[in-house]
Amino acid sequence: DVKVTQSSRYLVKRTGEKVFLECVQDMDHENMFWYRQDPGLGLRLIYFSYDVKMKEKGDIPEGYSVSREKKERFSLILESASTNQTSMYLCASSLSGRSGQYFGPGTRLTVT
């Protein structure tokens, strides 16, 4: 079974802090994704990566950056956390561009 793990289930940070969210997948998947999920807004894509060191902006990239130095690891960085970035962050991976995505358990981030 595909396993996608995220570094924290719950995280509380202060406004202005730099925040790192880590995601690791163990199935040699090519593609990795970062989403945020908010009530009433569904799943929104922040960034994705289709290969090591490759990244592309999703629908809401402002205020975020990403890093993929190794195939199995995809990091989401909040350069200067703000209260409107309080959300559930979900990482996912997929074998190819047309296969199902496997999600991690999520990180619930609160920025105070």
Partner 1 sequence: GQQVMQIPQYQHVQEGEDFTTYCNSSTTLSNIQWYKQRPGGHPVFLIQLVKSGEVKKQKRLTFQFGEAKKNSSLHITATQTTDVGTYFCAGPSGTYKYIFGTGTRLKVLA
Shortest Cβ 97–partner 1 spacing (Å) = 5
Q: Does 39 bind partner 1 (CB under 8 A)?
A: no
Q: Does 58 bind partner 1 (CB under 8 A)?
A: yes
For residues 22 and 75, the answer to whether their CB atoms sit within 8 Å is yes
Q: Does 56 bind partner 1 (CB under 8 A)?
A: yes
Among the listed residues 21, 23, 24, 90, the single contact to partner 1 using CB under 8 A: 90
- Among the listed ranges 12-20, 21-29, 68-76, 99-107, the one in contact with partner 1 (CB under 8 A) is 99-107
Q: What are phi and psi of 85, to 5 degrees?
A: -100, 5
Q: Does 71 bind partner 1 (CB under 8 A)?
A: no
Residues whose CB is less than 8 angstroms from the CB of residue 33 and which lie 6 or more positions away in sequence, other chains included:
45, 47, 48, 49, 58, 74, 91, 92, 93, 94, 101
Q: How far apart are CA 80 and CA 95, in angstroms?
A: 32
Among the listed residues 7, 22, 50, 86, the single contact to partner 1 using CB under 8 A: 50
